Amino acid sequence: MREFTNPVTDVQPEPPVGGLADAVFDNARTDPLHIALGRKDDQGRWRDVTAAEFRDEVVALAKGLLAQGVRFGDRVAIMSRTRY
């Protein structure tokens, strides 16, 4: 059997920074009018959603979760049909 070893280092890896929403905010900042995705409206018609609109919807959802008492680091499960 082969044996592999790695030298011990004193360097600790950088902790990860950021979160899932980073890409949403980056896209809205760099190209806010870019069509990020499409979704059905209340009448069942497909409509384009720009990066800036999507960011605004993400922020609104986050504010709603905060208003319900969800805090950073809390685990959340969203039970829903397939949706963005």
Q: What is the model's pTM?
A: 0.70
Name the token pair of 75.
């685990």
The rounded percent of the chain whose pLDDT value lies above 70 is 98
Dist. CA 35–CA 62, nearest whole Å: 22
List the domain boundaries for the chain: 22-67
- Reported as a single tens digit per residue, the pLDDT across 10-48 is 777 777 777 878 999 999 999 999 999 999 988 999 999
* pLDDT grade for 65, boundaries at 50, 70 and 90: very high
- 54 CB neighbour count, 10 Å cutoff: 20
Per-residue pLDDT, 13:
74
Compute the Cα dihedral for 52, 56, 59, 65 and give only its sign: negative
Of the pLDDT bands very low, low, confident and very high (cuts 50, 70, 90), residue 69 is very high
